[in-house]
A and B are shown apart, each in its own frame.
Chain A
Amino acid sequence: MAKKLGKRMRQKQVRKNKWYEYQDKSYKFIALAATGIGILVLVVLLWDVFSDGFSRIDLKFLMDSSSRKAKNAGIYAALGGTLWIMALTTLIAFPIGIGAGIYLEEYNTKGRMSNLLEINISNLAGIPSIIYGLLGLEIFSRTLMLGDTAITGALTLSLLILPIIIVSTREALKTVPYNLREASLALGATKWQTIWYQILPASIPGIVTGAILAISRAIGETAPLIVIGAATYITSVPSWPNESFTVLPIQIFYWIGKPQHDFQVNAAAAIIILLAITFIMNGAAVYLRYRWQKKIKW
């Protein structure tokens, strides 16, 4: 009797184990499918944009400016404006962001102030970009009377990407081992000399990687620039930062809003250019990080 019961229980256990095994295997299948969905959407998106717009891209498309006729319209002014914004944002955001990162990591002593700065920066990183647009509109465009110019756009985007640069600078500085600092200080170098001659050179690839990612984020930003009033219809590249401007994402937004099919094609073509710039920058960042991690072994 007891023997029989034991056998039944064993059989039950075997069935249960089989079920667990089945459960495990099917979950693996589902998980693979879930991962596949993410990648599939990416592939379909790229395929859709390319099939819509690739044939439209030629030298004329790159060299023509906005026009009311879709076939004559190009992205010259938008591309030029994007380059202006990139250059200005880099000039403004990098020194400030890296400086703040150095201060927080190397100088700041743990205390209430550092806590406040820390919480504040992580909060800034979570504020929707359109709110930065409202800030730029009110402070730079109206109060400082800079208007809807390239410099207003660059200042606004600089504030937007500042948290990213600060955080990545701090991460890069953290990887430099402490005995490097101690060795330098022991040889009589001052704090700043230690930072400038030892710590920064050692962490520069990490800082640059973060900075590139921040700028590639700024290139794709549309909403804050629309809010500060970047022009949607503009035919020339600004010759100086105090002129009005347009950028690729805004040109795309303007074209998407048009009912005619030809403008949609233009939008897709401009998207390909925008994606190309974004991917090249992200690729550069990934490559830099890879080389850096490989080369430096403390």
Chain B
Amino acid sequence: MKRSEKVIESFLFACSLLTILTTAGIISVLLFETARFFQVVSIWDFLTDTEWSPSFAKEQQHFGIMPLLAGTFLTTFIAMAVAVPLGITIAVYLSEYASSRVRQIVKPVLEILASIPTIVYGYFALAFVTPLIQHLFPGLELSNFNALAPGIIMGIMILPLVSSLSEDALYAVPRTLREGSYAMGATKFQTAFKVIIPAALSGIAVSIILALSRAVGETMIVAIAAGNKPTLTFNPLNQVQTATTYIVQTVNGDVANDSIEYKTIYAVGMSLFVITLLLNNISFWLKKRYQQVYK
């Protein structure tokens, strides 16, 4: 092999090695700063304390991650409650009912939803959806910042992810299964729900878990419309603070470089990283299994 070829190959190898370095960088940065955080705050307090108030005076400081996680899970739960039923229904419609023409039009239109910057969704949730809910249900005590509106809009944001990936999974189910079902006299509905969906279940699960992970890590929608009060609540009408929102709002203020407050953003980031990593690996594992079934 010529020397120049070797040089090119090592350059290309270095490029792909950079992705490993990125992961190593993320993990070491998070570990290093989180370790310094846990020198001051005990892990037990971090996991069990039900109050989060790092910016308070020293005697009243509390570092319990639970309120932030409650906010994160609340908005995520609302998003999933919107995206999963809608997404799967759309997927079934596109793969079993719609003509290929309809599919060709609807799929890209839905994918526009995924290309909209999340800051735009944040504006929409705050300036349109919250007032709309307040107007439609005057009895509801919905504060201007709440978990409900950003949760719903986040559901719309991840809708294309669920519908598109689920449709791929449904579409991949072999034709013979459909034909067998129709030959027995089953309707499209029966075929879809009793044959196709069970056959594609792991593929659908992959799409749901990926959407879940996306919702947990989503930042701007909740940073704009969900508020900034860390409370251990599961009431969607209240304002909440999510893990991502906390990071944005803390770096956006003035935080001294070496203060404990500065280190909190890394501890919160670490928690976020661990949760999403777990979810991503579950979906990866599921995907592997599911691909083996249809080989």
Distance in Å: Cβ of B255 to nearest Cβ of chain A? 11
A271 within 8 A of B: yes
Q: How many residues of A contact B (CB 8 A)?
A: 85
A133-141, A200-208, A236-244 - the one binding chain B: A133-141
B92 close to A31 (CB less than 8 A): yes
Contact of B19 among A32, A107, A137, A166 (CB under 8 A): A166
Residues of chain B within 8 A (CB-CB) of A37 are: 86
A129 close to B123 (CB less than 8 A): no
A256 close to B123 (CB less than 8 A): yes
Distance in Å: Cβ of A254 to nearest Cβ of chain B? 9
Residues of chain A within 8 A (CB-CB) of B190 are: 20, 24
B187 close to A96 (CB less than 8 A): no
Q: In the complex, what distance in Å separates the CA atom of A41 from the CA atom of B23?
A: 36
For chain A, residues 247 to 298, give those with C-beta under 8 angstroms from any C-beta of chain B: 249, 252-253, 256-257, 264, 267-268, 271, 274-275, 278-279, 282, 286
For chain B, residues 179 to 197, give those with C-beta under 8 angstroms from any C-beta of chain A: 187-190
Q: In the complex where A38-B86, A222-B117 touch, is A48 in contact with B16 (Cβ < 8 A)?
A: no
A249 close to B112 (CB less than 8 A): no
B16 close to A130 (CB less than 8 A): no
A135 close to B119 (CB less than 8 A): no
Beta-carbon contacts of B1-36 to A below 8 Å, as 1s and 0s? 110110011011101101110110110011001000
A130 close to B272 (CB less than 8 A): yes
B217 close to A38 (CB less than 8 A): no
B18 close to A102 (CB less than 8 A): no
A127 close to B18 (CB less than 8 A): no
B284 close to A252 (CB less than 8 A): no
Residues of chain B within 8 A (CB-CB) of A226 are: 248, 251-252
Q: In the complex where A127-B273, A130-B247 touch, is A282 in contact with B280 (Cβ < 8 A)?
A: no
Residues of chain A within 8 A (CB-CB) of B119 are: 220, 222, 249, 252-253, 256, 271, 274
Q: A102-B12, A134-B266 are in contact. List 11 more A-B contacts (CB 8 A).
A: A35-B94, A38-B156, A42-B109, A122-B284, A130-B269, A190-B5, A192-B8, A222-B220, A223-B244, A227-B248, A274-B119
Q: Please name 13 pairs of A and B residues whose Cβ atoms are closer than 8 Å in the assembled complex, sorted by A.
A: A99-B16, A126-B213, A126-B277, A128-B219, A131-B217, A131-B272, A133-B251, A134-B269, A192-B4, A223-B247, A252-B119, A274-B120, A279-B115
9 interchain residue pairs of minimum CB distance: A128-B217, A220-B117, A31-B93, A99-B15, A103-B12, A126-B280, A100-B16, A223-B219, A100-B15
